[in-house]
Structure 1
Amino acid sequence: MKRRQFTHAIVAAGCAPAAVALAQDPYPGKPVRLLVPSTAGGGIDLLARMFAQRLSEQMGQAFVVENVGGAGGTIASGMLARATPDGHTLIFQATTAAVNAASLPNLPFDAVSALTPVSMAARFPLVMVVNPAIPAGNLREFIALLRANPAKYSYGSAGIGTGTHLAAEWFKLLAKVHILHIPYKGTASVMPDLVSGQVHMLFDGVPPQSGHIKAGRVRPLAVTSQQRSTVLPHVPAMAEVLPGYDLPFWTGLFAPPNTPASIVDKLAGEIRKASESPQLVAKLQEFGAEAQPMMPAEFTRYWKEQVALYRRIISDAKIRLDAG
């Protein structure tokens, strides 16, 4: 053997054990940053912390929640896009990520490919509520009322391009009705005007509306999932009247681009395991939510379908996203 070939053989043999050891290093090998694109204390943050606690217990490493609010969640998504793809930086995203990917083409990163879908975590429906003085006792009657009185009634939302806005716009498209949109800075800001009758309809999460519903301040007409909510079993699903309507609020775990499939698959399996915890299931039920683990391929399909759906709603409803 020539001297150069012999030297190369020795180097290769020496490196082989290190390479094998590196490939077999247990994951996670250090604490995991879990980015949350919202301020602390909100619904997404609370759900993220529930799953972070379970994953920490199951995997033997801390999953540390890091709140990164601002710019509708795109700052956090940009951080993930630039993160090392070793599974030690993840993001707990929500429906807003699909809305952003559908509506913000000029971000400094590709909002779709910047997120590697791992698994959905949980989902729950929004609820359509109206002022109780509205002369409609159910969804069919409300649709008939709107058709008979175009532009007489109005609805509030959390702002142009938000999930509550787009949920209402899809209702308008499928029901073929015209109801005026009045954007607010958050659904909580809508409530005084909704209760007083200044606006007539709102789409919002089930938890913040449960108290108003019980007190009779608003009347629920439908939930936005294909099935009824376990928290509001007497309220019909929108799809019972408008087939094809399915727009729940969801949360899920994403990794950076190019994260190895072995890590993505392991994390998905751990989310599924966490979803079987009776304690976690009970906590989710308090939110009107249910665990909905998915394997990466299934969640990837769902993610792309959601982006395409929101693009369709924005296009068909002729929404100007620079109008907010």
Structure 2
Amino acid sequence: MNVQRLLAQLALSIGAVAALPAASAADYPNRTIRIVVPFAPGGGSDVVTRLMADKMAADLGAAVIVDNKPGASSIIGTDAVARAAPDGYTILMTNSAITSNPWLFKLPFDTAALVPVTMIASAPQLLVAHPSAPFKTLKELLAYAKANPEKATVGTAGAGQLSHLAAEQLQRMSGTRLTVVHYKGSGNSQGDLMAGQIQMSFGTAPGFIQHIKNGKLVPLAVSGAERIDALPDVPTVAESLPGYDLVNWFGIFAPPGTPAPIVERLYQSVSRALANPEVSARLVKDGFKVRSMSPAQFDRTVRDEMASWQKFVKDNKLKID
């Protein structure tokens, strides 16, 4: 009889534990949500996150805070989310580097285990130069770089970031050799660029547009296949090097094991924020393209890009020192 009672109590306990995700999903959210950005403040991911956070807070009825955790090419912040409780209160806003990092670094987490929630926006990299640089166009840069191997300096947001891969691709397709300088975030790279410590930098448009308009930076080229509305007179790299096409996207991920109802709630909140004319207009003005995707669509995109970057890194024998 005691054994039967024990088994009954055990069954009840197991049932209660199994019901926890559903229960927590039903009243989600009921406390502050933390969006981890694995980059320093000022970069594209940070700009997009802060734009979305207020709208999401109003929609979800809970506070939404932004927590910058830069370092190790976004690995530190991503690892914090990978280890977080799968309850929807700690989520990740990152960029497409999450799909190339597995092939460039030894990671402390399984990228494929993270739960894709939705893509938010995409933007090409913008290659800009300090006014003191001895080139004012991409063609002038390529001519200078061929005549002066490794003399032209270009900053990136970090080893393995898309800005790094953009610089590597530029060298390979043009047959030039640049000196690539890695920083801990695009904000740090931009600071040295503005001070003239480096000649060029790859980065997303929002951090550069106002400085371009003020004449403090010179736009050389856009990394995507098409010019952007925010800077229609700036040519694409592909106009000089056909086939060159690199675009950065920004999206939200949840910790492994996050219940589907919570993922769906987050996706719907982001979708409503993106549908807000104020938000979409601001994104376009800053050089972004709105790219809302369902969790299933985003999951397919992430897996496809992981396979593509695996091939790219292998074929080009890329190594991170």
Query: TM class, shorter-chain normalised?
Result: 0.7 to 0.9
Match of 2:297 in 1: 298
Q: Is the 8 A contact 1:37 1:74 kept in 2?
A: yes
Tell me how far 1:293 sits from its aligned partner: 1.1
Is the 2:25–2:259 Cα contact (8 Å) retained in structure 1? no
Counterpart for residue 81 of structure 2 = 80
Which runs of no fewer than 5 residues in structure 2 stay unpaired? 184-188
Q: Residue type matched to 1:86 in 2?
A: D
- TM-score, L = length of structure 2: 0.78
Distance in 1 between residues matched to 2:140 and 2:118, nearest whole Å: 39
- SS of 2:65's equivalent? strand
Question: Quick check: 1:38 aligned with 2:36?
Answer: no
Q: Deviations over 1:6-45 (max 9, x none)?
A: x969x87xx79x9598387233243322222234555433
Of residues 167, 170, 175 in structure 2, which corresponds to 1:177?
175
TM superposition shift of 1:193 = 4.2
Tell me by how many angstroms 1:140 deviates: 5.9
CA distance in 1, matches of 2:128, 2:99: 24
Gaps (5+ residues) in structure 1? Answer: none
Q: In the TM superposition, what is the alpha-carbon distance from 1:188 to its structure 2 partner?
A: 2.9
| Equivalence for 1:156 | 154
Q: Is the Cα–Cα contact under 8 Å of residues 155 and 179 in structure 1 kept in the other structure? A: no
Matches within 5 A, 1:1-324: 19=19, 22=23, 25-40=26-41, 42-105=43-106, 107-110=107-110, 112-130=111-129, 139=138, 145=143, 149=147, 151=149, 154-158=152-156, 159-173=158-172, 175-183=173-181, 185=183, 186-193=189-196, 199=199, 201-216=200-215, 218-322=217-321
Q: Is the 8 A contact 2:118 2:298 kept in 1?
A: yes
Q: Taking every aligned residue pair, what percent have the same amino acid on both sides?
A: 34
Contact 1:121-1:250 within 8 A present in 2 as well: yes
Higher-Rg member (1/2): 1
**CA distance 1:187–1:98, change in 2 (3 Å):** farther
277 and 241 in structure 1: CA distance in 2 versus 1, 3 angstrom threshold: same
- 1:211: how far off? 4.3
Distance 1:109 1:231 in 2: 37
8 Å contact kept, 1:184–1:190: no
User: AA paired with 2:264?
Assistant: D
SS of the residue 2:112 aligns to: coil
What SS does the corresponding residue of 2:74 show, helix, strand or coil? helix
| Number of residue-to-residue matches in the alignment | 307
Normalised TM-score (structure 1): 0.78
Q: Compute the displacement of 1:261 (Å).
A: 2.4
Q: Which amino acid aligns with 2:250?
A: T
| Residues 118 and 268 in structure 1, CA contact (< 8 A), matched pair in contact too | yes
Any idea what SS the aligned residue of 1:72 has? Answer: coil
Provide the secondary structure at the position in 2 that maps to 1:65.
strand
CA distance in 2, matches of 1:121, 1:58: 16
Deviation per CA, 1:149-196: give whole Å up to 9, x if none.
Answer: 4727523123543432211111223x34212224154243234447xx
What SS does structure 1 have at the residue aligned with 2:35?
A: strand
C-alpha deviation, 1:48, in angstroms? 1.3
Shift of 1:57: 1.0
Conserved 8 A contact 1:150-1:177? no
Tell me: CA distance 1:75–1:215, structure 2 relative to 1, closer, same or farther (3 Å): closer
SS in 2 for 1:123: strand
Please identify, of 264-273 and 23-32, the stretch whose mean Cα deviation from structure 2 is larger. Answer: 23-32
Q: Give, in whole Å, the separation in 1 of the partners of 2:211 and 2:42.
A: 21
Residue 321 of structure 1 and its aligned partner are, at CA, apart by 1.0
Residue 213 of structure 1 deviates from its aligned partner by: 3.3
Asked if the contact 1:169/1:317 (under 8 Å) is kept, the reply is no
| 207-216 or 270-279: bigger deviation | 207-216
